[in-house]
Amino acid sequence: MSEWLCILRPPRPTFEEDMTEDEARAMEAHFEYLKGLLAAGKLLLAGPASNPLFGVVVLVADSEEEAWELARGDPSVRVGVQTPELQPLRVALLAGR
Asked if residues 59 and 83 have their Cβ atoms less than 8 Å apart, the reply is no
How many Å apart are CA 95 and CA 86, to the nearest integer? 23
Domain residues of the chain, as ranges? 2-89
**CATH of 2-89 among 3.90.1200.10, 1.10.150.650, 3.30.70.1060, 3.30.43.10:** 3.30.70.1060
Report how far residue 22's alpha carbon sits from residue 81's, in angstroms, rounded to the nearest whole number. Answer: 9
Digit-by-digit pLDDT tens for the chain (97 residues) are: 899 999 999 999 999 999 999 999 999 999 999 999 999 999 999 999 998 999 999 999 999 999 999 999 999 999 999 999 999 999 999 898 7
